[in-house]
Every structure is written in C-alpha cells, then in structure tokens.
Amino acid sequence: MAKALGGVAIVETPAALAAEATELFVRSAAEAIGDRGRFAVALAGGATPRGLYTTLAGEPARARVDWRRTWVFFGDERCVPPTDPESNYRMAWETLLGKVPVPSGQIFRIAGEATDAARAAADYEATLRAVLEPGAGRCDLILLGMGLDGHVASLFPGSPVLEERDRLVAAVETRAAVVSRRITLTLPAINAARRVLFLIAGAEKARAVAAALRDPASPLPAARVHPRDGVLTWLLDRAAAAALERPATT
C-alpha cells in the first residue's frame, strides 16, 4: 500500500485510492485533534471522493474518526439548492455526513441556493475566518479533485480568480459543463491548509496530472496548489498516473 506522506502516491485502483485516502483522512484527523482539539476539513465535490466518503461512513473507518470534534467545510459548491442532484453538499450528506455524528452546528454549507452568490461567498469567508483560526481561515485538511482541464474546486483555467490574493472565497462564472455558476475557495484559502490532498483517478486525467506535476510554470489551476506551510499529497490511481510514468515527450 502506498504511504502518502507528501508528494505523489500511486495506487492501483479507485478502490485502493479510497482506502489510502481513508488512512490519510483518519491520520489527519487524529493529528489535528491531538494537537489542537479539533479537525477542520474541507470536502471536495464531484464523483471521485464518493468512494472515500462511503468508506469513512462505514466500519471500521467510522469508529476511527472523532466526528464530534470534526468541523466540516466545502471547497466549492454549485449555485443550486442543497437538495439538487448537482449539489456537492447533497452528495457529501448522502455518502458521509448523514451517516456520522458530526454535530450539525459544525457542518458549514456554502449557500448555493443564494440569489446573490457574491454575498453568499462573502458570508462564507466571514464564517471561515470566524470559526477557524481567528482571521486565518486555515483548514487542517482540504480535499481536492481535478477536472480534465486541470481545474480544482471551481477554479478553472484562465479564471481571473486564480490571481486573487486576499479573498478566501469567491463567486465565479465558469465554463463547467455542470452548473456554471459556482462559489469556490480561492488559492489563498487552499494554500493556507495544513494538508492538501488531491484525489485523482482515471486515464482521462493523466495528461492534466502530468502537465501540472512536470511543469512548475504550468498555468493549470492544479499546478498553483502549493500549501504555504503545509503538506501537499497527490494521491493517484495507476490510470491517472500513466503519463507521469511515460518519458516526457520533448
């Protein structure tokens, strides 16, 4: 089993990715609670994390996390109601949060239903700053997926929000195929985390993974994730790592 402490860890299958991610999640939670008395995690949306969330909601993993000392945030949200099939909150609730005893006052949902998305983004930022380390808005763990185009959370290639230096949360209009209006953590928020864990599976991601990891100057959003004072782990299945293992073409 790959030991993902930082850097790139490659496992054989999506199931192994969920198992390895579960171990990292459990260890991050134990470390944060041991050091600071609580674990603040931002969940990723999309499909890839479903395997992790389902594993965490079941035994034995469920009993290995102190859910009552866990604070749950979201890396991004589609601008839809929480009951919408496209809602990241709904996916997290159905696969994990509805099955573990995180106190409801410790689950901080992004108000995707808000008509004023910019206001909802500002409100979420105020919550992050108030609830997390005063003013810093620093999570212990941020989970991220990556799109085929190298987007992370709802930060898409070419987006002006990629240049944001101060705000932690922004409302964005994206070219996402699924719900283009989004609310997302910005790079300052992501890069403030103690640990960032990418969960990436599937051959269709291989080109973007190689582009982001091989070229430090890559403009891809995924290449801009570098925790300032934290650990970055790319957890990949063999298919998503395929282009990494091929010699770079000139």
Length of the chain in terms of residues written:
250
Which residue's Cβ has the minimum distance to ligand 6PG?
145
Q: How far apart are CA 124 and CA 71, in angstroms?
A: 14
Closer to ligand 6PG by CB, 68 or 175: give it: 175
Smallest gap from residue 31 Cβ to ligand 6PG (A): 24
Q: Which residues pair with 152 in a beta bridge?
A: 155
- How many C-beta atoms lie closer than 10 Å to residue 188's C-beta? 15
Smallest gap from residue 213 Cβ to ligand 6PG (A): 16
Coarse DSSP helix, strand, coil percentages of the chain, rounded to the nearest 5 percent: 40, 20, 45
Q: Which two tokens stand for residue 52?
A: 């992790």
Closer to ligand 6PG by CB, 90 or 151: give it: 151
Closer to ligand 6PG by CB, 38 or 180: give it: 180
Closer to ligand 6PG by CB, 75 or 230: give it: 75
* Exposure b/e, 20-42, CB count within 10 A at least 16 = b: bbbbbbeebbeebbeeeebbbbb
Closer to ligand 6PG by CB, 137 or 150: give it: 150
Smallest gap from residue 77 Cβ to ligand 6PG (A): 7
Smallest gap from residue 10 Cβ to ligand 6PG (A): 17
Name the residues that contact ligand 6PG, by CB under 6 A: 44-48, 75-76, 88, 145-147, 151-154
Smallest gap from residue 15 Cβ to ligand 6PG (A): 15
Query: Is the peptide bond between 60 and the residue preceding it cis, with omega within 30 degrees of 0?
Result: yes
> In the Cβ-directed half-sphere of 50, how many Cα atoms lie within 13 Å?
7
